[in-house]
Chain A
């Protein structure tokens, strides 16, 4: 037997044994802190209630609203077609399938924007992209979309334009909700979940 075979054997064993002495390296798949901070500093993650309202009204197919409040709050009231991912179950795989779907803008909202922003930071740390926060949350939604305040007479024409949009949106949402109430059914949510397998399936 050639001596080189002994070297080969030893080399294989060393390579395999080397796997055990590698130091722990847990977070390699998460966004690193600097990048996370970098995306936090930018205000691009915030989306105003007006934009969200517009997307809903125009039935924007890229919109994916995510309600991070508790299940109870969600069942009591939620925005049209919103999905419920309670903040405390954000790490469960079942819910994560809703995030990171190609071509969808996931917009978090809660009562205010703090909880939604916290959900955003956690999701960002987990490496999800295309996620946003609805600024002001539901409180702001109520104030701006459902019951907009009339601008002063001295206000600029833009403000009046915005107001008229909000008025229209208000009628749209309150009216739509009336229908829903009378039927007693919630709009069926059908978001294509991400499949578990990441690569095309197929035979050998």
Chain B
């Protein structure tokens, strides 16, 4: 076995089961402290609301969807999930630094597609995920992970359907990934 090739192929990731147990314990701790699970997409929602509250305040106030998140007392950015997402970023930074993955800006893609295709796909995927996460009342961490762990029916539903859809449509997008 050639260890040199091996180390290129196998970056320093922690054992997935170890990561899983740690994540489960973290989820428990979060529930113990806050009474709710972890989340991620809520921060982007806050960012959207903040941006358009700054750009077009009247519009934001009249919009039925935005107005749910606007209050006079504090900015929507001053929000639990925003701080948590900031933490996710910092945590990623720390981990990347420790395991030596913190490098220059780059695009990761399958050899079969160009960087441009990958970026287009990422953008479209992001838009779809953004829309879907609003209907689903949360993304894969907020709804699927935390929801299922707290025995919410909706969370379980989202988890099954999210991954189920993934497997059904995987064939059509295989070029992007294999």
Contact = CB atoms under 8 A, between A and B. Distances in A.
- Which of A198, A202, A203, A204 counts the most B-chain CB atoms under 10 A from its CB? A204
A203 B140 CA distance: 12
A202 B34 CA distance: 14
A204 B133 contact: yes
Contact of B41 (A8, A198, A199, A204): A204
B35 A199 contact: yes
B41 A203 contact: yes
B167 interface: no
Interface residues of A, number: 6
A204 B45 CA distance: 9
B17 A204 contact: no
A172 to B, nearest CB: 38
Interface in A4-48: 8
B35 A203 contact: no
Contacts of A203: 39, 41-42, 45, 81, 133-134, 137-138, 142
A199 B35 CA distance: 7
Contacts of B34: 199
A2 to B, nearest CB: 10
A8 B15 CA distance: 13
B35 A198 contact: yes
Q: Identify the interface centre among A8, A199, A202, A203: most chain B CB within 10 Å of its CB.
A: A203
Nearest to B42: A203
A198 B137 CA distance: 17
B143 A204 contact: yes
A204 B36 contact: no
Interface string A105-138: 0000000000000000000000000000000000
B40 interface: yes
A202 B42 contact: yes
Interface in A155-204: 198-199, 202-204
Nearest to A5: B17
A196 to B, nearest CB: 14
Contacts of B42: 202-204
A187 to B, nearest CB: 31
A116 B137 CA distance: 43
Interface of A: 8, 198-199, 202-204
Given A199-B35, A204-B142, 8 more contacts: A199-B36, A203-B45, A203-B81, A203-B138, A204-B133, A204-B139, A204-B141, A204-B146
